[in-house]
A and B are shown apart, each in its own frame.
Chain A
């Protein structure tokens, strides 16, 4: 079945440094979604990418969807303490209906 792998599992950065998390699928995805979960909270939808090679930005966050629609990345420029949390990617395959979540990348930002 489809698997969504996410790396790294943990990342610890100093405030102001950049951060990137990567998501890779064993099969071609129809679309990919990104969620953020603050410590003690629940996942909250950030963005969705549908088109091959798509790039979307939300302030300091840049999301990319690979040309082959098998990988995606989230890049945060100049991290802030408010970026702390776990970032999940979740993909739908072209044949299935279940949303498969990666295991997430936990980001810790120290001032």
Chain B
């Protein structure tokens, strides 16, 4: 089955620790995205990648970092510089970046709780 996987589903970390969230897709999509979701805030774009070895900051990139070394993978690191990291993190992909009619395919999400 084609799709996007995110692991783990739930993640707990102590304050001050960096943590990396994984996102893998086997859809052969060029573009990948990371969103953060907080109650009542909708989806806010953290980073996106148009193609392998490329990535760009989204609206709320501070305290986060990403890499795109492989087409299938787009891991997100939540660093200790992120002031309020507890949230639901969603990874998504589209076939081609910038093609406006492409729809976003979302992974199941990772719920991060920082204690």
* A interface residues with partner B (beta carbon < 8 Å): 6, 9, 30-31, 33, 35, 41-45, 48, 50, 88, 90, 92, 97-99, 101-104
Contacts and interface: CB of A to CB of B under 8 A. Distances in A.
Interface string B10-47: 00000000000000000000000001000011110100
B101 A48 contact: yes
25 contacts: A6-B42, A30-B100, A31-B100, A31-B101, A41-B109, A42-B90, A42-B106, A42-B107, A43-B43, A43-B104, A44-B106, A45-B103, A48-B101, A50-B101, A88-B42, A92-B100, A97-B97, A97-B100, A98-B45, A99-B104, A101-B42, A101-B43, A103-B41, A103-B42, A104-B42
Nearest to A106: B40
Nearest to A50: B101
Nearest to B44: A101
Interface of B: 35, 40-43, 45, 48, 58, 90, 97-98, 100-101, 103-109
B51 to A, nearest CB: 13
Contacts of A99: 104
B103 A48 contact: yes
Given A9-B40, A104-B42, A33 B103 contact: yes
Contacts of A90: 104
Contacts of A48: 101, 103
A102 B101 contact: no
Nearest to B111: A40
A70 B41 CA distance: 21
Contacts of B48: 98
A22 B55 CA distance: 33
Contacts of A92: 100
A43 B40 CA distance: 15
B108 A97 contact: no
A25 B108 CA distance: 28
B108 A42 contact: yes
A48 to B, nearest CB: 7
Contacts of A98: 45, 48, 58
